[in-house]
Amino acid sequence: MALPSGRFVVQEHHARTHHFDFRLEMDGVFKSWAVPKGLPDKVGVKRLAIQVEDHALEFGNFEGTIPPGDYGAGEIRLWDSGTYELLESVENRIRVKLHGSRASGVFEILKFRHGKEREWLILMRRG
């Protein structure tokens, strides 16, 4: 049985702290994580990913300024986007194959066992 596919977006976000927002289209929304150091670019590199609230699909095309006082205030620029194949999705692990111009390959998002509730790790895996 084929697993569903969808869009992914990575937005560079200059807010209170500089980070990257990694978003996967799932269940009619973008499941979203703030990744302080950006997506890993080599196999074996682990990066912290803080799960944030789901975002509407329309937000995937957003570039611009969120005004001061609003949630996420700051500049947002599209860093990459494309499609992904869902390879596995279980309670504490999501594996996807990204097809973007800057982010491509197999990535795994794992619930951080020893972290806080919203803390995950994102890793690049061998294809």
- pLDDT tens profile 31-56: 999 999 999 999 989 999 999 999 99
Q: How far apart are CA 24 and CA 114, in angstroms?
A: 24
* Residue 2's pLDDT band (cuts 50, 70, 90): low
For residue 23, give its domain range. Answer: 5-125
pTM of the full predicted structure?
0.92
| pLDDT reading at 10 higher than 90 | yes
Overall number of domains in the chain: 1
Q: How far apart are CA 9 and CA 100, in angstroms?
A: 9
Amino acid at 64: G
Closest CA to 84 of 31, 12, 19: 31
Q: How far apart are CA 54 and CA 99, in angstroms?
A: 21
